[in-house]
Structures are given as structure tokens and as C-alpha cells.
Structure 1
Amino acid sequence: MNFFSMAVKNIQRKLDTYLTYFLSAAFAVTIFFIFCSIYYNPEFADFHTGVSKIGIIFKISSVVVLLFSGVFVYYANSLFIKSRKKEIAIYSLLGMRKKEIGQLLFLETLLVGVGSIISGILLGSLFTRFFSMILKKLMLGGAPGNDIAFHLTWQPVVVSIVVFLILFILNALYSLKTVFGSKLIDLLSAEKEGETAPKFSVVLSVLSILMIFVSYLVFLNFNGDDGAMKLIGPAIFACVLLATGTYLLFQNIVIWLLSKCKKNIRFYYKTGNFISTSQNVYRIKANSNIFCVIALLSAFTVTVMSAAISFYLTLGNSMPIYAPYSYLCENLNEVATKQVLQTVSEDDTVKLHAVTDLNVLSTSASLEGYKVDTNNAYEKTTTQVGEDLTIDIIKFSDYKKVVEDTEAIESKGNKGALFVSELTKGECLFLDGNYGHDYSEHITGNNIQVKTDGGITAFKIVDVSLFKYIGAAHARTTLVLEDSDYERYFALKDSYKICHYIGLKFDNPLEVSTLFDKLNTIVATKNHDKSYLEYHQILFNMYGAYIFIGMFLGILFLMAAGSIIFYKQLMEARDDMGRYEILRKIGMTEKEMLKSVRRQIAIVFLLPFMVAMMHTVVILKTYQNMVYTLTTDSPILVYALLVVAIYFIIYGLFYLFSVKGYMKTVWNKSTVS
């Protein structure tokens, strides 16, 4: 029998152990292949540039999949090698040289790797078009579009084979290193490693709680208005604290809790509790690295999937906030205005809901305790607290028509002033140009000093809102004045800069792309804002790709998390065969053993899951606080509960597989012996 035949027989003999590892590795190859196929698909070439830049997104995601797969495959392979050290020692005792043993293990690892690569590419080829269609549907967000044609190019196949073959060859070389770097006595005693009595530190226990608590505080104090650059430092600091605190938690507090359980005589000396608690107490410290990784991985997975689903499903409701008008023109001359309206009236495909004619006048003002800090469509506007600022002025009747024509809805960012029914002389509504309430939260009732025809005039602020009445891109601080005040104080129109807007509201803005093309030939680029359809395409192209990738990575991380615990339990089951054989001989029944194994493995699965859920609640709350202020309120907790339920079901299946595999090892093999 040659080495190849021996390697094949070994894989067949250990098929139950290799199967989950093989499936997880094949799944990683499948995802990587699908990502590469989408990147190289010519139908997505137009999205590689522009705001969405899904080419970059898929490149980064492919690298993440590859790196994660590398760590996962390395870890799973190292567990296999550790579990087979005694087998390697027996090979050596039977006369096989280290070189021959190394070749055998090298071939086994490579065969499983090649099988995973082939299976992954075949599965990827079968499902690439299906998932490409899902991606395009997500990116269209309900807008009309063509189906995806099937494109199978050579690049994804070659890239997948090369990168994963290198990955598996490196792991095969690790197997060789283990064989050549180990002594026979070490290989024979490998199963007895890591069984020393665990100790915990009170100081480190307190430190772990403090680190997690501080990280939570940092996360919960994130402010989306600060911008990404300002949050990078605190985010890294909080993540390091959270990861370190979680590791120390499993290293110390969990051991302390299990030790307390041992001291509880009524609890501990029950048959099932006695065995499961003892086993976990001695192994918890050795497993703390795994528990920490699983907890953080699970928290990340649930958070990303919940946030992605929540944001995407509420994005459609948020579109009127970005583009309240289907098409918005600025400062058109009379001829162009007539051409626009005539073109719209002649188009049979469009249903015109409303036309708004709006004049916005600009002047200067000052308000104690207020500043503008906004990047908007015109320029970067920044003032210091209390100093003069440029402010827009509109009439109350025009404002009410805008609200009526755009069918504005009350949401997180436009409560209050949006639905005020009347204004009296000397009063105003204050529409804050910022994206947060930091500078306008306490100004209701204050007077704002405005430059008018007659000098400086004070107006009383009766209500405040973040409502961006002509779109989120036009983030300009605006005062809404009673009509007679507007005509009285701003009669000299030539003294001010005035922008004249014409807003068109269609009932079917996603189905009139041809009309938009016609209008763009009439209206110069500088005289029109992005249409509703353009905003829709930008946002859904970008976030559709995000949710697609988030779901795939979430499933991959879940598979890896469950697989890691599953492998670890199978390895520990082999170590425990002797102990359970003794228990069987002194009268322990299969039912009692199953009960004990269930409890033992339940602790292993539940500990990281519970910590992960604790982290998830805080991070989801942080996300909810960070979501763009103007978006509609998102029921993120509902989506999070749905994701957690699905996650728990799949996680539970890994638990059941682990119990079954553990029992098959410790009971069936012990009864045979």
C-alpha cells in the first residue's frame, strides 16, 4: 500500500471528524469564488467606480474571507494534528520514519484541501448567477432593471485555486513541522497536556469587568456627528478593551463561578453536574482563547447582520429625506422653465403629483450658543459658537406648500416644526442646518438677530427642527417667517442673494429614467440637483452590496464559530474515553452519561453565546445612536431578535452534532473495548 492509498483510507476512517472541517472549508472557497465571480462579472463593471465602488468592497471582502479562512483552517488543522499525536507516535514505534509519517500527513491535508477547493468552485459556479441576481435586486431596491446574464470567466477559478492551494500547502507544511519537531515521549503524552488545576486572579477578574464596562461607556458615547476620522481612535481603544476584557473574563471570572459551583455540595454531587462541572473547570482556562474568539465573533456577526438588514429595509422610507422632490431645478430662466414643464406634460409615462415654486433668500444672523458645522452641497460651512452665520429665509406659506407637496413625514430628525400650523408676527421656525441637535436643543424661546432691510431685527424661535425641506444635501440653516414679516422686512429683494427652486414630485420616480435624461439635456448640471432616482441608485447600490456581503460573512463566521467548538469537543472526547470507560464499568448508564455530556457541552456553547449577546446589545445601541439623524426610526431590535433566533437555531444544531459526536466517541468506543 502506497502513501496515497493510506492517506485516502485515513480520511475515510475519520470521515466523521473531517466532514465538518471539509464542509466549512468548502463553504469558504464557495464564498470567495462567488465574490471573485461578481467582481469579474462585466455586468457589474459599471459599479466598480463612483460612490458605490463595489469592486473595492468585494476585493476587501475577498481578502477578509481569505484571512479568516486561513486562521480557521490553521486552527482546525492544528487540532487534528494534536489529536493524532499518539497515532503518529505509534507509527514511529512500528518503524515508520518521520519523513514517511510527514508525507502521509502532508498528503491527507492536501487531499482534504484539494477536495474543498474543487467542491467550493463547483458549488460557486452553480450558485454564482443566483447570488448575482440577489445582489442586483438588493442594489436596485425596487427600481426596474435587467436580469443578470450568466458569465463564468477563468479569473475567479484561477484565483480561487491559487490562493486556497497555497493556504492548504502551508497547513500541510505545518503538519510536517509537527512531526519533525516532536519527540516520541511528547507525542505519547500529548493527550495529558493541559489538565492542571486552574487558578484565577481576583485582581484580573475586577480588571476584566472594568475593561468591559469602560469599553461599553466609550461605545455608548459615540456621536455620529463627530465624523469617522474623530471616531477611529476611540473605536480602536474600545475594541482593544473589549477583546482584552472578554479574554480575562473567561480566564478568571468563569473559573471562579465554576469553582463556586463545585463548593455547592447539593449541586455538585449530582451525577450529571459532578462530571460536567469537573471537566469544564479543568479545561476552561485552556479553552479561554477559543471562548473569547467565539464571543467576539458571534457579537460581530449578529451586530453586522442586524444592522445591515435594519438599515437596508428602512432605506426606502428614508429616500424622501434625501430627495423630497423627484427632480429639483435651481435658478432656471423662464425659457428653460417652460421647456421643463412642457417636456414633463408631454411624457405619457410620468404621473406628476405636484410642482413647487420656491424662493429662498439668504442673509446673515447671529444666535447665542449656536454654530453651524455642516458639509453641504454648496460649500463647507463652519462657524464658531455665537458668531454671525449665513442663514436662509422662506415664507411660512411656501414652507407649508413644501411640506404638503413632498408629503413630508415625521421622523427622528424632523419632529416639531414640521407640523406647526400657524405663525404670528415676530415669530419664526428654526430649521437647523446641522445633522444633530447639539447646538439647537435648547434655543426654543430665544431670539435670533437677523439682518433685514431696516437693520437688525429680532425674531422669537417658537420651534426647532432638523427638517431638510429640499433635501439632505441642502443642509442650510433656515428661518421660516410669517408671510407679512417676510414681505415687510425683506421688501428690497435685490439686496439679497435669492435662489429660485422648482421642485417636481412624481408618483412613480423610479420608473421615469428616460424623462430624467430628457430633462438633463435641458437643464445644465449646475442648475439641477441629483434626482430621486439618482439618490436611490447611489444609496441602494452601496448598501445593497453591504448587506449582501454582511450576510455572507455572517454565515461564514457562524459556520466557523460552530465548527471550532465542534472540533474541540471531538478532540476532548478522545481524551476522555478512558475516564468514561471507568465510569461505565462502575455502573454509569448510557442515559446518565448522555445527560452529563449534554450539560458539559451546553456550558461550552452557552458561555461565549451569553457574553456575545451582552456585547451585541451595547454595540447595537451604539449603532442606533450613530445612525444618521435624519433617517426614519428603525426597529433594529426586532431585526436583531430575528437574527439572534436564526443564529441560535444554527448554533444549536452545532451543539446537537457535538453531543452526538461526543457520545459516539466516549460511549460506543468504550463499550467496544
Structure 2
Amino acid sequence: MHNALYFTLAKSNLKKNRAIYLPYLLANVLIVSMYYILTSIRSMMQTYETTQGSNTDLMLRFCTVVAVIMAFIILFYVNSFVIRQRKKEIGLYCVLGMEKRHLSVMMLWEVVLTSLGGIVGGIVSGALFSQLAFLVFLALLRIPSDLRFEIPLGAVGNTCAVFGVLYLLVLCYNLLSILRTSPISFLQGAKEGEREPKVKKIPAVLGVIFLATGYGLALFADGIYETIKVFLPAVLLVIFATYFLFLAGSIALLKWMKRRERFYYRPKNFITVSGMLYRMKQNAAGLATICILSTAVIVSVSTSFSLYLGEEDILKLQFPRDYHASCILEKGEEETADLQAGIEHQAKENGVAMRDDFGYKQLWMAGLAAGEPGEFTLSDGEQISPENLYIFAFLTEDDYNKNTGADLNLGDDEVAVYEKEEESVGQSLKLDELSWKVKSKVEDPGVWNQALYLTETHYMAVIVPDMSALQEIRDVYNEKYAGTQTGYRVITYEYYYNIEGTRSQKADFIETLRDTLIQYVEHPMAVGNVELSRTDYYERFGSFLFIGLFLSILFLLAVSLIIYYKQITEGLDDRERFQIMKKVGMTDDEIRSTIRRQILQVFFLPLAMAALHTAASFPALVDLMRAMNLINQEIFVRCTIGVVLAFAVVYFIIYTITSHTYYKKVQQNE
């Protein structure tokens, strides 16, 4: 009997506070559905043998962990807001004779109803859209799939278990809030936070110092290696700085505006500044959170889109032809013909024709600048600062002339040099006891090397007269580092070519090519083609893009909820003040104008700070994108600008919708 009464009372409370609980319930449904979609996609991906145990599954698993953390934060933020707004109501229940145990039972039913609505609604809506999301995910990965409807029971059970635990924690928090708070405190809850906050100098100074340090680390990091080391500390410093500046710096700014009498004692400015000042302490944490989440949305979407769109640029440089094979040249130059003969035999066996082929012999190693221009010493490349490290790629004149159409005509002691950026070689080149005259500088290295495009390491291509020169350089290096963990350098032959044939013929050709080459060359190395690499790239960066979009939706949801509930809080706090102003002659137009000014200043400050954070982190993000193989920086610039503008539009829409809620709260009677 009592349970039925408390159940009815809980339903009545939810209905009476629907302006608060309806967005809460919708948010629960969306969070649960997104988590279910993510777990169901991961479950369905297990049916694809190409991705079992791959990086895709690891990234999806990581995303589920982040989703649970975000769900926990969102649920507890909204729930704590609901409890704060209902303090007066709960206090009245206590005055009317309800004991804390009665309130606990009522609160239990409220949590049960909202949790059931969230879990059931989330799983149902997730099941309806999970297949569409799965097809989008496969499309990003370039994996063909048939349309089908599937509800993985494991995903359903996982979702129920995870959110059952989260709602249980919410219930425990609510019960503790009731048990530890007196009825008088509940009745006075609505009056908390009315004292004018004081300026806290230490947090304000720390905020400035942390922000300057974080920006400095991101802006002045020298190269990819240093950026990777300092990026996470820089992010943490900026997060702390954002909270300190919003908590202390915003109050200091408003106090300064208040001291400007000509500015402050105008009707519009007086209402805006005084209203913001008295509630900035409780607003600051929410605004700082909005800023951090907004920055996370911009960075995650722009980086994931850039990596996905920049894949083809990487493939074009890595594969000047569609197919590639390489081997180690131990005996001599004749092994290059053996590799080509094996590939030609495989082509005949599979009925495909070879064309547009070319190759080159290559030897690469590390060196350090010795001080004088053009003088270097050999290095094993271990634990060396990147600004002093050089990567050398040695090529032969005949290969270079054949592939580029040049006519170097080198003498026995002459070389031609390509340098990636700065000029560090003059008329001569010396590497330990090896030395050459530099006959000419070339503008095309004639090779693809990761150090050439993807790192800040100094890169130098050196064209030597013949194969015997390559062997001499190799022997000098291997003698110097004999018996060390460095290993020894080898001369490789890199061979690129295209083939003509049907799709099935090409697939058969590449499938058994390595087995054929083993019969022709003693040390075959890489065997691949652009399609295999494209599949790998799209699987990796397609997963990254999907996860980036997924997390950005969660972040946007959190931003929307924080703004919505903060607008309600603002409206409730301002209602009595504006009612007084209206009684003393303030018109509805003046009220609306004042409201617009206030919420513009409050809610667009985090967007401006998020754009500033993104701009300050951009040089570091460029280095990180290069470390993840993004060569085309123009793509990243365009994606970042586009995402910032798109997010600003979405943010403005959220602000426009929630501002109506604020105005209604201000205009309605007590």
C-alpha cells in the first residue's frame, strides 16, 4: 500500500518537474542508445575476419570506456542539478511530515522510473538505428556488407549491466543527499550562492601561469618527438588554467567592470554585470566545462576528418606505382634481375601484363653533423636528439638517371646531393673516413622515405657512382657497429610496377607472389600493393573518424545539457529580479534586450575560449598529424576552420533554443 503511494507520488513529481526531467530522460535515452550502438557494432564486427583482434577492435573498446565515463559525468551532473532545484520541494515534504525513509523510498521509485525509461528507450532506439550506424561504420572502413537486422544479445546485456550500475550509483548519491541534509537546509537551498563572490588572486595568477605555460609548450615544441612528449602536459595545464580563469579571472573582470562607474551605472550594463557577478561562482565551473568539451569536439572531429581525407596523399607518395616488391642485395646487382624475373613469371601464371615498372637500389643509415659544413659522423640513431640527426639515403647514378631522366655523369669520387630543407653541404661531403666532392645539388630525391615526408628529421639523398660505392659505405657502417645491438645495414632493391588484368586475376597474383619470389631471390622483403595498404589505412582511420564523430556527439550532448540547465538556473535566479525591475518601469523589450546581452556574454565566452585553445594547439596538432602519416597540412587547416565554423553554428542553435527557456522562466510568475 505504501509502495503504491510512493510510486504514485514519484510519478507525480516527475510529471510536475517535466521541464527538468524530460531533457534528463531524453539524454538518458540518447546516452544508452549510443552506448548500445557502439557495443553492438563491436559485436557485429567480430563476424568480419579481417578485423578480429585488429586495431579497430582496440579503438572500439577504448571508445566504450570513454562512453561510460562520459555517461557517468552527464548523469551525475544532471542528477545533481535536479536535486539542487528540488531542495525546496523536498524541504516542504519534510515540513508536511514525511520522514527521510519515506523520501528515500520516493526517490527510489523516481530513479527506477527514469532508469527504466532510459534503458528501455535507449536499447529500443539503439536497435532501430544500430544497423544504419553499422553500415556507416563499414562504409568508412570500405568493407562491403548486406543490409540486415541484428540485435546482439551480448550488447543488450552489457548495456543493461553498465547502466544498471550507473543508476545504482545515482540512487546512492540521492539517498546520501537526503540522509545527510537537514530539512532546514533543503528549504534554504534556493537561497544559496547569493553572496557576492570575492576575487581569489592565487587561482587567477595560477590560471594565467598555467595557460601561458601550456600555450608555450604547444607553440614552441621543436619537432614531432618533443611535441609528443609535451602535448599531454600542455593539455592538462590548459584544462586547469581554464577552470582557474573562469572561477577567479571572470570574477575579477566583472569587478573591474563594476568599478567603471560610467559603464556600470547604465540600466543594461547594471543588470547584466550585477546578475553575472552574483552567480559567477556557480556558473564558472559549468562554463569552463563547456569550454573544455567544445575544444574536445573541435579537435576530435577536425583531426579524424583530416586523417581520413588525407589517406590518398599518403598512398600516392608511398606507391608511385600500384604494386611494390623489394629484396636484400647480398651477392650483387644481378639479384635485381632475379626479383624482376620472379614477378614476370607470376604475372604470366596469372594472365596479367606488367607495365610502367621502375626500381632503384637503396642504402640508408643515420649520421650526425660533425660541426663543419658537409662533415658528418655515422650514428646508430639511438637516443639522439632529432635536431642533430640526419637520415642518409644512398642511391646509384644509373638508377637515378633512368628514373628521373637526369644525366649526372659522376666521377669516381663525386656525388650529387638532395637536401630536404636547410643547406648543410657545400662543395664536399664527408662521412667518417668516406669523402666525396659534391658535383651538383638535385631537387628530386627520386625515392620515398618516411623521414622525407613525415618527420622533422634532416633528410639527405646522396647519389653515388655505382653499386661498389654502395657496398663500400655499407661495409664501413657495419664494421663500426659490429657486435652492437644496432644490427647492420643492407642494400635493398625497391621495385615498383603496375599490372593489367581482371580483379580476380590481380587478387590471385598478389596472393601467391611471395611464395614465388622465394624461389627466385634469397632474401625477399616487402610484397604489397596500394589496395592492401588502402584497406589498412581506411580500417585504421575510418575507425578513428567514426570514434571521433561518436565522441563528439557525446561531448555535444554534454554541452547542450549544461547550457540548457544553466539557462533554467539563470532564469529562476533572475525571475524575481526582473519582476522587480518590471514593477519599477522596465519594459518587456528592455527585459528581452538585457537577457540577450547577458546570455550572449555568458554562454559565448566558452566558445571564444575554445577557439583560442584550438588556435594555440594547432602547431602541436600539425606535428601530431604528421606523426600519424598526414602529409597534406592544407587538409588539416581546412578541416579545422570548417569544424570551428560548423560548431559555432551548432552552438548558436543550442543557445537560441535554450534562451527561450530562460526568457520563459524569467517572465512566468512565482
- What's the TM-score, normalizing by structure 2? 0.84
In structure 2, the partner of 1:314 is 310
Q: Is 2:560 aligned against 1:562?
A: yes
Contact conserved, 1:299 with 1:616, CA < 8 A, in 2? yes
- Matched to 1:504, the amino acid is Y
SS of residue in 2 equivalent to 1:287: helix
Please name the residue that 2:16 is paired with.
13
Amino acid at match of 1:481: I
Kindly indicate whether residue 184 of structure 2 is the aligned counterpart of residue 185 of structure 1.
yes
1:527 paired residue among 525, 528, 544: 525
* Residue 91 of structure 1, aligned match among 90, 93, 96: 93
Deviation at 1:657, TM superposition (A): 2.5
Q: Distance in 2 between matches of 1:132 and 1:431?
A: 48
Q: Deviations over 1:93-129 (max 9, x none)?
A: 2222222222222222331222112222122212222
Q: 2:35 aligns with which of 25, 32, 37?
A: 32
In the alignment, is the contact (CA less than 8 A) between 1:402 and 1:469 conserved in 2? no
1:287 paired with 2:286, answer no
Tell me how far apart the structure 2 counterparts of residues 363 and 664 of structure 1 sit (CA, whole Å).
71
Query: Which residue is equivalent to 1:650?
Result: 650
From 495, 499, 503, the equivalent of 1:502 is 495
- Inter-partner Cα distance in structure 1 for 2:469 and 2:6: 95
The Cα RMSD (Å) is 3.7
Give 1:378-417 correspondences, 5 Å limit. Answer: 393-399=394-400, 401-402=402-403
Q: Secondary structure at the match of 2:626?
A: coil
Partners of 1:492 and 1:170 in 2: CA distance: 70
- Aligned position for 1:276: 272
Provide TM-score, normalisation by structure 1: 0.83
Per mean C-alpha deviation after superposition, the further-off stretch among 327-336 and 71-80 is 327-336
Distance in 2 between residues matched to 1:272 and 1:551, nearest whole Å? 40
Counterpart of 1:523 in structure 2: which amino acid? L
Alignment partner of 2:299 out of 303, 307, 315: 303
Identity among equivalent positions (%) equals: 23
- Corresponding residue for 2:640? 640
TM superposition shift of 1:510: 9.2
**Secondary structure of the structure 2 residue equivalent to 1:634:** helix
Judged with a 3 Å threshold, the aligned counterparts in structure 2 of structure 1 residues 386 and 33 are, in CA distance, closer, same or farther, namely closer
Q: Measured at CA, do residues 321 and 265 of structure 1 come closer, stay the same or move farther in structure 2, by a change above 3 Å?
A: same
Flag the 1:479–1:616 CA change in 2: closer, same or farther, 3 A.
closer
**Cα distance in 2, alignment partners of residues 318 and 362 from structure 1:** 21
1: CA distance, partners of 2:225 / 2:656: 46
Counterpart CA distance in 2 for 1:465 and 1:381 is 29
Query: Partner letter of residue 164 of structure 1?
Result: F
- 1:260-318 C-alpha deviation (Å, 9 max, x unpaired): 32233443334333222211111112222222222122112211111111121111111
Relative to structure 1, the CA distance from residue 473 to residue 575 in structure 2 (aligned partners, 3 Å threshold; closer, same or farther) is: closer
Give deviations 1:496-538, integer Å, cap 9, x for gaps. Answer: 9653443223589999433311323312494334432332222
SS at match of 1:564: helix
Structure 2 counterpart SS, 1:394: strand
Distance 1:64 1:613, change over 3 A: same
CA 1:166–1:509: 2 relative to 1, 3 Å:
farther
Q: Does 1:481 align with 2:463?
A: yes
Pair 1:578 & 2:579 matched:
no
Give CA deviations for 1:235-259 in whole Å, capped at 9, x if unaligned: 3432332122222211222222222
Does structure 1 retain, via aligned residues, the 8 Å contact 2:622–2:633?
no
Q: Deviations over 1:319-378 (max 9, x none)?
A: 133343422232568666434224335656x6755111433468999863557778xxxx
Query: Are 1:314 and 1:634, in contact at CA under 8 Å, matched by a contact in 2?
Result: no
Please state if 1:444 is matched with 2:446.
no
C-alpha contact 2:395 2:470 (8 A) present in aligned 1: no
Alignment of 1:207-606 (within 5 A): 207-223=206-222, 225-226=224-225, 231-232=228-229, 234-325=230-321, 326-330=323-327, 337-344=340-347, 352-360=354-362, 368-369=370-371, 370=376, 393-399=394-400, 401-402=402-403, 428-430=415-417, 441-445=422-426, 447-449=428-430, 456-460=434-438, 462-463=440-441, 469-472=447-450, 479-481=461-463, 485-486=465-466, 498-505=491-498, 512-524=506-518, 526-606=524-604
Letter in 2 for 1:58: L
Equivalent position amino acid for 1:95 in 2 = G
Determine whether 1:667 maps to 2:667: yes
Q: 1:88 to 1:351 in 2, by over 3 A?
A: farther
Amino acid at match of 1:47: T
Preserved contact between residue 397 and residue 410 of structure 2 (Cα < 8 Å): no
Match of 2:82 in 1: 80
| Deviates further, 179-188 or 326-335 | 326-335
Matched, 1:129 2:131: yes
The 2-side partners of 1:337 and 1:463 are apart by 31
CA contact under 8 A between 1:367 and 1:449: conserved in structure 2? Answer: no
Counterpart for residue 47 of structure 1: 51
* 8 Å contact from structure 2 (residues 32, 122) kept in 1: yes
Distance 1:99 1:507 in 2: 80
1:105 maps to what in 2? 107
The change in CA–CA distance for 1:35 and 1:251 in structure 2 (over 3 A counts) is: same
1:467–1:205 distance in 2 versus 1, CA, 3 Å = farther
The worse-fitting range, judged by mean Cα deviation, of 456-465 and 506-515 is 506-515
Letter in 1 for 2:86: R
5+ residue gaps in structure 2? 329-334, 477-489
8 Å contact 1:37–1:128 — kept in the other structure? Answer: yes
The answer on whether the counterparts of 1:446 and 1:460 sit within 8 Å (CA) in structure 2 is yes
Deviating more after overlay: 604-613 vs 570-579: 570-579
Matched, 1:162 2:161: yes
> Which whole-Å deviations, capped at 9, do the CAs of 1:36-91 have from their partners, x for residues lacking one?
111111334542324xx221211111111111110111111011101100000111
- Greater CA deviation, 66-75 or 8-17? 8-17
Is 1:64 equivalent to 2:66 in the alignment? yes
Task: Find the aligned partners of 1:276 and 1:311 in 2 and give their Cα distance.
Answer: 44
Residue 86 to residue 357, structure 1, CA distance change in 2 (3 Å):
closer
| Distance in 1 of aligned mates of 2:605 and 2:512 | 61
Contact 1:371 1:384 in 2 (8 A): no
Contact 2:361 2:395 in 1 (8 A): yes
Pick which of 364-373 and 219-228 moved more: 364-373
Structure 1 gaps, min length 5? 375-379, 405-419
Q: Give me the whole-angstrom Cα distance separating, in 1, the residues matched to 2:387 and 2:609.
A: 46
Distance 1:136 1:560 in 2: 27
Structure 1 window deviating more from structure 2 (207-216 vs 324-333): it is 324-333
Residue-by-residue CA offset, 1:391-411 (whole Å, 9 max, x unaligned): 65323452254468xxxxxxx
Distance in 1 (alpha carbons) for counterparts of 2:426 and 2:624: 28
Distance 1:314 1:271 in 2: 53
Q: Which of 59-68 and 563-572 deviates more?
A: 563-572
- How many aligned positions are there? 630
Report the equivalent of 1:377: none
CA contact (8 A) 1:362 1:390 kept: yes
